[in-house]
Amino acid sequence: MNSFIENQNWRYATKKFDASKKIAEQDLNILKEAIRLSSSSYGLQPYKIIIVENPELRAQLQPAAWGQSQITDASHIIIFAHEVNFGAEGIDSYFKNVSETRKASLESMKGYMDFMKTTITALSEEERNIWSAKQTYLALGNLLNAAADLRIDVTPMEGFVPAQVNELLGLNKLGLHATLIATMGYRHDEDATQHFKKVRKSNEELFITL
């Protein structure tokens, strides 16, 4: 079996982490790089990634995540937070980075920059927030795949109260809004879920070829 497919069959949404096992720094750096290299619309990455290691802060976050034990037991937790009302300023920052990275003048990219600004700023604030929130799911996908390759468990979570997480982490002041939580670490031997057969739609039910 292809190793990628084997890893996808191995991974599952871990319900109980082994709190005694921690992710090695070198592996954590690989996971961070996988997130950093993720695709995003126009390459803009309109989000921030908050890694919460502080155990006291994680205990405070647990009630906001419906009391789920993964918040305190996992080795690390990551908050994906999209930028609120992303617009021209964020685009300018992106093109400054492009200019410095590729040694290209901003003037040579002005047409594309103006096109991008016109396209994105034409959206309402609500539409922009929906768009930027969607980008975090692309980054999460890269994290899930990289973690499976390292045999590190990741549980993606939408089961939390964003307003409470925003308040606890001071995200509102940073112009950010919590979109996703990912808990990372190693499955506990007592987590029965790891033995459940994976349930997915069949090829015939899922795919349509035209």
pLDDT of 93 reads 97
pLDDT of 150 = 98
- Mean pLDDT for 182-200 is 97
- Residue 128 above 70 pLDDT? yes
When pLDDT is averaged across residues 191-200 and rounded to a whole number, the result is: 96
Per-residue confidence at 167, pLDDT binned at 50, 70, 90? very high
Residue 70 CB contacts under 8 Å (≥ 6 apart), including other chains: 14, 15, 16, 17, 77, 155, 157, 183
Q: What does the mean pLDDT of the chain come to?
A: 97
**What pLDDT does 39 receive?**
97
Distance CA 97, CA 108 (A): 14
Each residue's pLDDT tens digit, 150-163:
999 999 999 999 99
- Strand-strand pairing, 153-157 and 76-83: unpaired
CATH architecture of the domain 3-10+23-39+46-84+126-188 equals: 3-Layer(aba) Sandwich (3.40)
Confidence of residue 1 (pLDDT cuts 50, 70, 90): low
- The phi, psi pair for 52, rounded to 5°, reads -105, 110
Q: Is the pLDDT of residue 168 over 70?
A: yes
Contact partners, residue 89, CB within 8 Å, separation at least 6: none
Q: Is the dihedral of CA 142, 144, 132, 36 positive or negative?
A: negative
Q: For residue 147, what pLDDT is reported?
A: 98
pLDDT of residue 86: 97
Q: Reply yes or no on whether the pLDDT at 135 is more than 80.
A: yes
The pLDDT score that the predictor gives to residue 64 is 98
pLDDT tens, 55-113? 999 999 999 999 999 999 999 999 999 999 999 999 999 999 999 999 999 999 999 99
